[in-house]
Amino acid sequence: MPTIVLDAEGGTHAPAAPVAAAAAVSLDTTANFDVILVGDPAAIDRELSRRSHNAERIRVRPAPFGQAVEHAAEIVRGHGGDALVTACDPPRAIRACLSHFGLVGSLRRAPLCAVYPALPRPGHDDPFALILDVGATFRPTADDFVTWARMGAAYAQHVSKIDAPTVGLLSVGRDPRVGPPELVEAHRRLESDSSLRYVGTVEGLDIPRGAADVIVCDGFTGQVVVGLLGGVGDALVSMAKGAYRTRTTWRVGLKLLEDAVVRFHEVVEHKAYGGAPLLGLDRVAILALPGSQAGSLANACRLAAKAVEAEMPKALGLALRNARDASGHIDDPAAGG
């Protein structure tokens, strides 16, 4: 049974939200993992005393004040736990992970991943697709793009259970000759990579249309895309509420669409999937938004356990080695900026 190490000080709602998340999953018979809460034991115990929980599935580890995420990473590095989940400030969480964990294979940079709602794609019924990077690397090289494409495909295969995921590069258009030199070079190399189902460059409007199971982009663009999707969900719900109060005919129509509107809002909200995996590390790390509530963190823990059970670090390392052998190209860790 995996053990998830949860930062009890991370996020604006700590320690209440992390402790509530741990309490909830400890009572969930479908959550086949235990939780270690890292932080101030007195504060954690106070929060636990207010909630029903299974004490046999929760352990508490003290951490120096203000250093819970670093101490949690140390626990995972020392094999005291199988995965890290934190809602602390993302740059700090990334630093903690990179300081305590190694990178698989010849990887130079670990990308953050996120899921987004997309129309059905052939071969499976997964309502989500994967986008990476979403904030860890703002100026990736062609090597980064290619490696992330391989890792994203491996993640989609092992965690999302998509047999042969498709991969696309996010660009300003379908013409692969247009775009930054790094993107153009990455497209050239991915086209000849027999280990991937590469569909070429895709535009922003193609993302929700289900153009690919995995979309690869730089961290700045990915962060904007994920934020936009969340904003659209909020705006849709807000407009629906306004229209509902305006006219009876609109009220009837919106009543018919109520399930679809709520569903869209749920899937674009962060709480639907909990957190973003920092891929390419030799340990599993899930980063949740700092404003995450208990439900989000509980789902982040479930996602972490799923990644552990899929042996993601090993699977990603194997995917990179196999793809490199198939393409005949040896990625140079020292290349690029």
pLDDT of residue 177: 79
pLDDT of residue 237: 47
Q: Give the C-alpha separation, 202 to 102, whole Å.
A: 32
Give the strands of the sheet with 128-132, arranged side by side. Answer: 113-117, 128-132, 214-216, 166-170, 197-202
Asked if 279 and 155 touch (Cβ cutoff 8 Å), the reply is yes
Distance of CA 168 to the CA centre of its chain: 18
Q: Give the C-alpha separation, 196 to 148, whole Å.
A: 12
SS3 label, residue 136: coil
pLDDT of residue 194: 84
Establish whether the linkage from the previous residue to 133 is cis, with ω within 30° of 0: yes
Residue found by looking up tokens 């535009």 in the block: 203
The partner residues of 34 in beta bridges, in order of sequence, read 3
- Tens digit of pLDDT for each residue in 122-167? 777 777 788 998 888 888 999 999 999 999 998 888 888 888 899 9
Q: Along the 337 residues of the chain, how does pLDDT read in single tens digits?
A: 899 999 999 999 999 999 999 999 999 999 999 999 999 999 999 999 999 999 999 999 999 989 999 999 999 999 999 999 999 998 899 999 999 999 987 788 889 888 777 777 777 777 778 899 888 888 899 999 999 999 999 888 888 888 889 999 998 877 877 888 999 999 999 998 888 999 999 988 888 788 899 999 998 888 887 766 654 444 444 544 544 455 555 444 445 445 544 444 444 444 555 678 899 999 999 999 888 899 989 999 999 999 999 899 998 888 887 766 555 554 444 333 3
Asked if 14 and 289 touch (Cβ cutoff 8 Å), the reply is no
65 phi, psi to nearest 5 deg: -55, 130
Residue found by looking up tokens 């590390």 in the block: 281
pLDDT of residue 332: 42
Please list, in sequence order, all residues whose beta carbon lies within 8 angstroms of the beta carbon of residue 267, skipping any fewer than 6 positions away: 117, 127, 128, 233
HSE of 276, CA atoms in CB hemisphere, 13 A = 29
> How far lies 102's CA from each of 10, 65, 97, 203, in Å?
22, 25, 8, 33
- SS3 annotation, 72-84: HHHHHHCCCCCEE
pLDDT of residue 276: 84
Asked if 106 and 331 touch (Cβ cutoff 8 Å), the reply is yes
Pick the CATH number of 1-110+278-310 from 3.30.2130.10, 3.40.50.20, 3.40.718.10, 3.20.20.70: 3.40.718.10
The partner residues of 103 in beta bridges, in order of sequence, read 281
> How far lies 125's CA from each of 116, 118, 121, 160, 162, in Å?
14, 10, 7, 10, 9
Domain regions of the chain by residue span = 1-110+278-310
